[in-house]
Amino acid sequence: MSDVATRVRGVLDGLGLEAEALDDLAGALLWRIGRADEGPVTVRVGFATSASAFAELPRLRNATEEELAAAIDADELRVEWVGPRGR
């Protein structure tokens, strides 16, 4: 596992999200990682049925692995759920 993947797993654990649960849902999820303008590195995740909601949000420019690692180290990674939450 790469250093960034290990760090992302740590962030997920800190949020109470089990990586295995996300692995199980992977086929049903959409996600984007990047920055809106000069904002923080943002991870947007939601069900594939929410694709239209993703399109309505400001576009994220790609974030590099270095930017992602720096955001995790600085505790500045933003995680956003897009669309309705599951039951």
pLDDT digits (tens, 9 = 90+) for 50-69: 999 999 999 999 999 899 98
Q: Evaluate whether residue 54 is within a structural domain.
A: yes
The two tokens of residue 74 are 């600085």
pLDDT band at 15 (very low <50, low <70, confident <90, very high): confident
What DSSP state is assigned to residue 15?
Answer: T
| Domain assignment of residue 50, given as a range | 3-81
* 73 belongs to a structural domain: yes
Predicted TM-score (pTM) of this structure: 0.72
Residue 31: which CATH number?
3.10.20.570
In-domain check, residue 87? no
Residue 53 lies in a domain: yes
- Residues 64-85 have pLDDT tens digits of 989 998 998 998 999 999 998 7
Using CA atoms, how far residue 81 sits from 1, 35, 47, in Å, is 25, 15, 9
- Please count the structural domains in the chain: 1
Q: Please check whether residue 22 lies inside any domain of the structure.
A: yes
Of 4-13, 18-27, 72-81, which has the strongest mean pLDDT? Answer: 72-81
CB atoms under 10 Å from CB of 44, counted, come to 21
